Amino acid sequence: MLKKIILLGPPGSGKGTQAKRLAESFGYLHLSTGDMLRDEVKKGSQLGQKAKAIMEKGELVPDTLIVAMIKSRLAVDNGGVILDGFPRTVAQAEALDAMLTEAGETIDRALLVDVSDGEVTKRLLGRAEIEGRADDTPNVIANRLNVYKQQTEPIVDYYSKLSKLTRINGEQVIEQVFADLKAVVRG
Ligand code: AP5
């Protein structure tokens, strides 16, 4: 059974949906940096105040803030963890490696949920009508996709070079994507 898992993919690819299901199914910890940041914004903490405007534009919160935030939650106790939305830059991937190495651990696999720009845009605009998330507007969605390509896609290469990358077709019904992901996590 794989234990330290990263879910990678563009905004709206289904990382949150699948991470929650995987964490429940395997009894793993689900760590979503997006959810953590939204909590900080809601609380009005110092971090939340810094992150709010950045998130509303669809830009990335600085690596130093993200790494400090995740470090305090990443219980390195040999348990399973599903990382959702982190790492998002090569600097974050390197910081994660350093954190885990210090504890004698390593990332087992990065699962890339592959979905086209057209499909993720359709999904996020659909979600906007139901949930009204501040960053689900047409302009911000376009910027998030751009930021993903510029700053996050390089980590696909990073894990590929380490032979730790598996691509999953994310343009299938939720149940099928979940079945494909579970098969990889089972090892
Ligand atoms: P974050 O919350 O991580 O947003 P995101 O990556 O843009 O992801 P989403 O939550 O929009 O999509 P998802 O892939 O989780 O898909 P979901 O399951 O929700 O980050 C928000 C912001 O926080 C960032 O822009 C940045 O500012 C900041 N941030 C976060 N982490 C950071 C980091 N590490 N470094 C720096 N900044 C950071 O699904 C989307 C919709 O599609 C839902 O309605 C769902 O029901 C539907 N859906 C899911 N799967 C399917 C399917 N198979 N078929 C049809 N519909 C589906």
Its pTM stands at 0.97
Give the pLDDT of residue 74.
83
For the Cβ of 17 lying below 6 angstroms from any atom of ligand 1, the answer is yes
Give the pLDDT of residue 21.
98
Closest Cα to atom 48 of ligand 1: 14
Domains of the chain, with CATH numbers? Answer: 4-186 (3.40.50.300)
Ligand 1 centroid–CA 157 distance in Å is 21
Are 168 and 109 within 8 A, CB to CB?
Answer: no
Ordered per-residue pLDDT tens for the chain, 187 residues: 999 999 999 999 999 999 999 999 999 999 999 999 999 999 999 999 999 999 999 999 999 999 999 998 886 566 899 999 999 999 999 999 999 998 889 999 999 999 999 999 999 999 999 998 999 999 999 999 999 999 999 999 999 999 999 999 999 999 999 999 999 999 8
For the Cβ of 15 lying below 6 angstroms from any atom of ligand 1, the answer is yes
Q: Determine whether 15 is an active site residue.
A: yes
Give the pLDDT of residue 141.
98
Q: Determine whether 133 is an active site residue.
A: yes
Ligand 1 centroid–CA 99 distance in Å is 24
Are 12 and 123 within 8 A, CB to CB?
Answer: yes
Give the pLDDT of residue 103.
85
Are 61 and 48 within 8 A, CB to CB?
Answer: no
Q: Is 24 helix (H, G, I), strand (E, B) or coil?
A: helix
Give the pLDDT of residue 50.
97
* 158-170: b (≥16 Cβ within 10 Å) or e: bbeeeebbbebeb
Which residue in 15, 38, 52, 123 is the catalytic one? Answer: 15
* 96-113: b (≥16 Cβ within 10 Å) or e: bbeebeeeebebbbbbbb
Q: Determine whether 38 is an active site residue.
A: no
Give the pLDDT of residue 78.
66
Give the pLDDT of residue 75.
66
Q: What is the C-alpha separation between 45 and 3, in angstroms, rounded?
A: 32
